[in-house]
């Protein structure tokens, strides 16, 4: 049996979906299971058990792009397609690929394109996304396994990270705290860079920590702002690593401090202690799934949760979180 799973489009959601993928494997132990998703999924899962069967999907722009992607899937003659995405377009893709069994949540009017699936329901209070994906499988009549999110780092990846960090002045004699000030979703999810800088200063002065800053190339300005405020220059890794390289760097960290974004969940999958700063999003759905972790979120903000990409107001859900609060959470995890 050949199964293809359309995995989510965001790093964090792929992390949350890993227990559902393990459950699918447990239900079909003899099946050949492939993952279809954004090209970065290949990078993230390289070296993992899932990494051997990843089909990168380019952006299906227009009907021509959709047909090309469908043709690529159809050639592999899959028996079953499982949609972990809720979009109408992903269901169209599997239908055009002529996959006989197409399973997923009946959402956004796409039920007629599926052969099996529970109706999507609102959850109050929200389910953690790990539970959401597992409940989808249960709605399809499949049994689920105890949820665990885990990634591995090879010895070679650890060694390359050690050498790269040492070249940037990071000492193995001091605790390394990684700051992740970006958020691909949008600036509303970003704790101000000035707060990250103040946190870095406190960690250097009170804990003797080394600081590294991670992120995409577009986050270089945030890293520069943080670095300019610190007495000891941090290692700037923004735009310098792929996802596997980022995992290697994370494996060296004593604590990872981040906005609610994909790398936070990558660190959590490595069991690196995490401090997550939450603003417009709901930690009941996207908090780090495993300990050790601390969540910083301000209650009483009248517009929360808005899930906006950009804040049209005063961004108090994020600005109300102080550097001292983040330091206290990080210091507790450093013990």
Q: Are residues 168 and 296 in the same domain?
A: yes
Q: Are residues 123 and 163 in the same domain?
A: no
CA separation, residue 19 to residues 136, 191, 217, 291 (Å): 12, 29, 31, 16
Summarised one tens digit per residue, pLDDT across range 44-95 is 998 888 888 999 987 666 777 888 899 999 999 999 999 999 999 999 999 9
For a pLDDT cut of 70, what percent of the chain falls above it? 99
75, 105, 139 - which closes a domain: 139
Number of domains in the chain: 2
Kindly report the CATH number assigned to the domain that includes residue 26. Answer: 3.40.50.2000
What distance in Å separates the CA atoms of residue 287 and residue 289, rounded to the nearest whole number?
A: 6
**Residue 145 is assigned to a structural domain of this protein:** no
Q: Are residues 318 and 259 in the same domain?
A: yes
Match 């936070």 to its residue by tokens. 264
Q: Are residues 108 and 18 in the same domain?
A: yes
Give the DSSP per-residue string, 70-117: HHHHHTTT-SEEEE-S--HHHHHHHHHTT-SEEE--B-TT-GGG-SB-
Q: Are residues 116 and 204 in the same domain?
A: no
Q: Are residues 289 and 329 in the same domain?
A: yes
Q: Are residues 176 and 129 in the same domain?
A: no
pTM (whole model) above 0.75: yes
82, 112, 139 - which closes a domain: 139
Domain span holding position 51: 2-139
**Residue 148 is assigned to a structural domain of this protein:** no
Q: Are residues 118 and 168 in the same domain?
A: no
Q: Are residues 116 and 189 in the same domain?
A: no
Summarised one tens digit per residue, pLDDT across range 319-328 is 999 999 999 9
Query: In this predicted structure, what is the pLDDT of residue 257?
Result: 98
What distance in Å separates the CA atoms of residue 286 and residue 264, rounded to the nearest whole number?
A: 10
Q: 255 with 273: CB under 8 angstroms?
A: yes
**Residue 251 is assigned to a structural domain of this protein:** yes
**Residue 7 is assigned to a structural domain of this protein:** yes
**Residue 146 is assigned to a structural domain of this protein:** no
**Residue 147 is assigned to a structural domain of this protein:** no
Q: Are residues 108 and 206 in the same domain?
A: no
Q: Are residues 112 and 194 in the same domain?
A: no
- pLDDT band for position 294 (cuts 50, 70, 90): very high
Q: Are residues 123 and 164 in the same domain?
A: no
109, 139, 169 - which closes a domain: 139
């Amino acid at each position: 049996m050949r199964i293809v799973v359309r995995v989510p489009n965001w790093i964090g959601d792929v992390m949350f979906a890993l227990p559902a993928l393990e459950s699918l494997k447990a239900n079909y132990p003899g099946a050949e299971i492939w993952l279809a998703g954004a090209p970065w999924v290949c990078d993230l899962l390289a070296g993992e058990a899932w990494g051997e069967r990843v089909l990168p999907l380019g952006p299906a722009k227009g009907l021509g792009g959709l047909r090309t992607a469908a043709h690529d899937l159809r050639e592999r003659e899959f028996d079953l397609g499982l949609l972990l995405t809720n979009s109408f377009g992903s269901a169209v893709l599997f239908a055009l690929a002529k996959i006989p069994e197409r399973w997923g949540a009946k959402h956004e009017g796409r039920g007629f394109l599926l052969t099996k699936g529970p109706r999507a329901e609102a959850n109050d209070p929200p389910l953690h996304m790990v539970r959401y994906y597992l409940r989808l499988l249960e709605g399809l009549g499949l049994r689920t396994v105890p949820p665990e999110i885990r990634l591995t780092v090879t010895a070679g990846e650890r060694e390359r990270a050690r050498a790269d960090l040492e070249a940037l002045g990071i000492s193995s004699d001091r605790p390394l705290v990684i700051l992740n000030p970006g958020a691909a979703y949008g600036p509303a999810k970003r704790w101000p860079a000035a707060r990250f800088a103040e946190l870095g200063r406190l960690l250097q002065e009170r804990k003797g920590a080394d600081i590294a800053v991670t992120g995409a190339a577009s986050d270089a300005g945030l890293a520069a702002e943080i670095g300019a405020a610190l007495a000891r220059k941090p290692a700037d890794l923004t735009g310098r690593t792929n996802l596997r390289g980022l995992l290697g760097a994370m494996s060296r960290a004593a604590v990872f401090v981040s906005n609610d974004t994909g790398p936070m969940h990558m660190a959590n999958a490595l069991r690196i202690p995490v401090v997550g700063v939450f603003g417009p999003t709901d930690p009941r759905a996207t908090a780090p799934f495993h300990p050790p972790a601390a969540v910083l979120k301000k209650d009483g903000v009248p517009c929360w949760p808005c899930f906006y990409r950009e804040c049209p107001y005063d961004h108090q859900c994020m600005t109300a979180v102080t550097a001292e609060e983040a330091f206290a959470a990080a210091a507790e995890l450093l013990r």
